[in-house]
Amino acid sequence: MDQLKVLIVDDETLVRTKIRVSIDWEDNGYEIIGDCGSAEAALDLMEEETPDIILADICMPVVDGLKFAKQVRQQNPEIQIIFLTGHDKFSYANDSIKIGVFDYLLKPVDAGELLETLSRARMKIEKERRHDEEFCRLKDEIMRERQTIFNRCIYELCRGSDTKSVLNELEYLNFHLNEECYQIAVIGLYSAKEGQMEAVENQLLYHARAYELVQMFFKDMAGIYVIQGDMQLTVILNNQKQISFEEECECLLKYISGALQCKIFIGVGNAFQTMEDIKISYREASDSLKYYYMRGESEVIYFKNIVPSNEGMLYIDQEAINSFSFYLRSGFADKAKEVVAELFGNMKKEYAQREHVVLLTVRLAAEIETILFNLGLTDVLNDNLIKNMMYFESIGETEDYLNILVDASAEKIVQLIRTKEKSLIGDTCAYIDLHYTEEDLTLAQIAEKLYTNASYLSRLLKEKTGMTFRGYLFELRMEKAMELLRTTDSKGYEVAEMVGIKDPHYFSKCFKKYAGVSVGDYKRGTF
């Protein structure tokens, strides 16, 4: 049982004391918050604590019970007043009824009668409280229902439903939208990079909190409506001060993003004069919001500032794609990323939508995958690019992720190129070592045997050995000739032929140039 607060007011101390001790107040569900000897003292006490029931004497000096009761009823009509009187003819009945006094108790107060009267007062109080609670509940329910209907009507207006019928429904619900100047702002929240389900849950929480914040932000501004729907918030301004609305949107962005610590984008449509065109402003605001992906941070995006790309699929420069492939196949990561930067920069300039960015990214990813596959590097792309892109919040993040793929792929390609080059140089030197005795040995012949390009092989040989093909072959022949002259009895001309030089005179000239002495002197050891 809830404790009801009781205040005793009587100018006679003995009366107040007898009432206090006449019943067990606490056991019966009552708490005496005070006993006052005057109406003035009682009113002062009531400024600090509000009683549920007042037991008051009718005949008191200065301010009598009737005047006191009037003041109490004006202050709080829910307080139940029980008069204490020694007048058995109830000369004050009419006046008491007018001011809503609950009942009378004759002095001296009988304990049983007091409890019975208090019990009836309790029943009335509890009944009124239940009624008030039910009334508040029904009122809240009605207001929620009205708000739901209003949201639906505005949503239908924005989506282009029959304007006349919607306006009639709003009029019936006592919602009035004056045709002055309308402007729409659509608020989108972008947060959470965890798993997809977690992202959705976070989005719902952010959305609910954002709705509260927007309501608070605009609570004192007339002519502004906030509508929930489609995981977005729509703000409708009925105001002729277009510039001020833009300023409010900028302030709203800072307000929400600061409170939620997530990325907020607000798309703003142009202003229109009639309700017929409210759908246009809404579509413009929604279209503006589509460009959030091109931004890195929270921003208000105005439709009037957007220069959209042509309808349909955005043109992708095939020549740039070819350059990208060439650089990546060659292991030039920086050059490949320069092409990526150029392609994505064009997307930004063209105000491309997210779908276009995704298309470009998929094209580039496909090029990477094809190159790696052809090189036998199938284990590099171990991430699901498309899945990861679902959580990218901007074109900058997409570009960064693609560049990571380029770096990882180029590193593997460079490793593979170096391994192949090392192997190719080894095979080339080995072939020369086996065939240096052939007078007509050429680099083109070797390249053909090794299934490669002669120019590439020439460059690679120079890069890895520091010598040209002719230089390498010349040095090898001279070293072999010196070995033969030291270890065999062969004549100079014989040695010349053995190392692939049939002209003895040319051999002698080459040998002296390389060894610094003639063939004969080297043979005799006279140097």
pLDDT range class, residue 25, cuts 50, 70, 90: very high
> Which CATH number does 436-524 carry?
1.10.10.60
Q: Annotate 275-301 with DSSP letters as a single string.
A: GGGHHHHHHHHHHHHGGGGG-SS-EEE
pLDDT at residue 4, as a whole number: 94
Q: Does the domain made of 4-130 have the CATH classification 3.40.50.2020?
A: no
How many C-beta neighbours within 10 Å does residue 171 have? 11
Residue 481 neighbours by CB distance under 10 Å: 25
Q: Is the confidence at residue 89, as pLDDT, over 50?
A: no
Residue given tokens 């590439």 in the structure block: 456
Predicted confidence at residue 358, as pLDDT, reads 78
**Strand 299-302 relative to strand 263-268: parallel, antiparallel, unpaired?**
parallel
**Token digits for 125?**
């109080």
Is the pLDDT assigned to residue 87 strictly greater than 90? no
Cα distances from 290 to residues 162, 188, 195, 199, 294, in angstroms, run: 26, 10, 23, 19, 9
Mean pLDDT value of segment 443-465: 88
Q: What would the mean pLDDT of 113-122 be, rounded to a whole number? A: 92
| 180 or 344: which leads in pLDDT | 344
Question: pLDDT digit string (tens) for 45-71?
Answer: 999 999 999 999 888 888 888 899 989
Closest CA to 304 of 181, 184, 393: 184
The full set of domain ranges for the chain reads: 4-130, 177-305, 318-414, 436-524
User: Is the per-residue pLDDT at 73 higher than 80?
Assistant: yes
Range with the poorest average pLDDT among 165-169, 298-302, 434-438? 165-169
CATH no., domain 177-305 = 3.30.70.270
Average pLDDT score over residue span 335-340: 90
| Residue 414 to residue 229: CA distance in whole angstroms | 52
pLDDT of residue 315: 61
Which of 45-59, 318-332, 399-413 is modeled with the greatest confidence?
45-59
For all residues of the chain together, what is the average pLDDT? Answer: 81
Mean pLDDT for the stretch of residues 398-413: 86
Of 250, 342, 263, nearest in space to 296 by CA: 263
> Checking phi first, is residue 183 left (phi over 0); if not, alpha (psi -120 to 50) or beta?
beta
Segments in 275-376 forming alpha helices (H): 278-289, 318-329, 333-349, 354-374
CB-based contacts of 175, cutoff 8 Å, min separation 6: 150, 153
Mean pLDDT confidence for 494-504:
90
Per-residue pLDDT reduced to its tens digit, 91-102:
565 566 667 788
Cα separation, 143 vs 147, whole angstroms: 6
Task: Give the whole-number percent of the chain exceeding pLDDT 70.
Answer: 82
Whether 350 has a pLDDT exceeding 50, the answer reads yes
Supply the DSSP symbol for 344: H
pLDDT band, residue 313 (cuts 50/70/90): very low
Please determine, for residue 283, whether its predicted confidence score (pLDDT) is greater than 80. Answer: yes
Task: Average the pLDDT over 150-178 and give the result.
Answer: 72
Tell me the pLDDT band of 79, cut-offs 50, 70 and 90.
very high
Residues with Cβ within 8 Å of residue 112, at least 6 apart in sequence: none
pLDDT for residue 192: 45
